[in-house]
Amino acid sequence: MPSPFGLLAELTYACPLHCPYCSNPLDMAAYRDELDTGQWQRVLAEARELGVLQLHLSGGEPLQRRDVVDIVRSAHDLGMYTNLITSALGLSAQRAEQLRAAGLDHVQISLQAHEAGASDRIAGTTSFQRKIAGAHLVKELGWPLTLNVVLHRLNIDGIADVLALAERLGADRIELANTQYYGWARRNRDALLPSREQLDRAEVVVRAARERLAGRMEIIYVLPDYYGQPPKPCMGGWGHRQLTVAPNGDVLPCPAAQELPLPRANVQEHPLSWIWSESPVFQRFRGTDWMGEPCRSCARRDVDFGGCRCQAFLLTGDASRTDPVCTLSPDHELVAEAVRAANSDQPVEAVLTPRPHPRDTASRADD
């Protein structure tokens, strides 16, 4: 069995933003009982023993944890490469200096659009200028800067302006990731899924920018699953190289797996090594023995592993079915229908449901 390479630590689901594409679970109240500092430090030590080298600190907003500096310091002392995934709200000069002294290696800041009006509308709060200030602070302190922009129908037409902003900010890397439809994004899919025409225009812009900025800024562009063929492998294979720890200590093969009807495995009850190697949630879709047709007979079964298990469940109610994104799936019409609607001449009239703030009663996560 391979060792895990990366750990996504979702420190809290508390967040100052209301993004309608958020992939956090719908029932965020179930995650209020957050791991404390000592529990997170134990998780990191066990993860390092398993072979984890990269730690990604996320949420929600990880800066809402008062102990984030202590967590970074512990990971650094264990020899992990640490990456803070943040909205930059809460990244004050003092906090940034503390994180730098603790050994933080990298900062990734989310942007919703290239200018304040659109960005603040999508985020559901006034935040754009603070994000820009955070990006400047990251560069001043000498960190590598990644910008992450989740693309959808409401902002993808501004992709050229987003890239120009990233260039002005001196970003080392930008991730232009089309929305994946889990959590709140799934609820808002009809209003967020772009048209093929929008995607085609965006790809032209990205290709030109990659040529122009080669060697200066890395540009990652990810299509929405609904337009991708063949389907992408689920996290490089279920329980293959990555694991996620939720705020309450649940351990999952991917961030979206909270919604699957699988037995839970929690670090408050089991060592991380047992969870990785023996727990039912990690064993359920490892390898290919679990597959039915058409995946079992497919030449790509060891490449894409039947596609995304979470997407299969959300669209069909059965996580073991072929991802409906695949054209060979008997459920492919579910995806084709959504794509047709996104490309219809009829205007999209779906109402966006913003991600709410979870009521956070844990003082350690309330900065």
The pLDDT score that the predictor gives to residue 357 is 66
Domain boundaries of the chain, sorted by first residue:
6-227, 234-330
- Its sign, for the CA torsion 123, 129, 131, 132, is positive
pLDDT, tens digit, 9 for 90 and up, residues 120-141: 999 999 999 999 999 999 999 9
Q: Which CATH architecture has domain 6-227?
A: Alpha-Beta Barrel (3.20)
Terminal-residue alpha carbon distance, the chain = 40
CA 14 to chain centre: 15
Residue 361 has pLDDT above 70, yes or no: no
CB atoms within 10 A of CB 247: 27
The pLDDT score that the predictor gives to residue 367 is 37
Residue 206 has pLDDT above 90, yes or no: yes
CA pair distance 356, 367, nearest whole angstrom: 18
CA pair distance 266, 283, nearest whole angstrom: 15
pLDDT, tens digit, 9 for 90 and up, residues 40-52: 999 999 999 999 9
Known binder of ligand: residue 22? yes
Known binder of ligand: residue 310? no
The pLDDT score that the predictor gives to residue 351 is 59
3-class DSSP assignment, residue 122: helix
pLDDT, tens digit, 9 for 90 and up, residues 141-189: 999 999 999 999 999 999 999 999 999 999 999 999 999 999 899 999 9
What tokens were used for 168? 């002005």
Q: What is the mean pLDDT of residues 61-74?
A: 97
Q: What pTM was estimated for this model as a whole?
A: 0.93
What tokens were used for 282? 């990690």
Known binder of ligand: residue 254? no
Q: What is the mean pLDDT of residues 66-84?
A: 98
Residue 267 has pLDDT above 80, yes or no: yes
What tokens were used for 175? 């991730």
Instruction: Tell me the pairing of strands 242-245 and 251-252.
Output: antiparallel
The pLDDT score that the predictor gives to residue 354 is 76
Low-confidence winner among 19-33, 71-85, 247-261, 297-311 (lowest mean pLDDT): 19-33
Confidence of residue 358 (pLDDT cuts 50, 70, 90): low
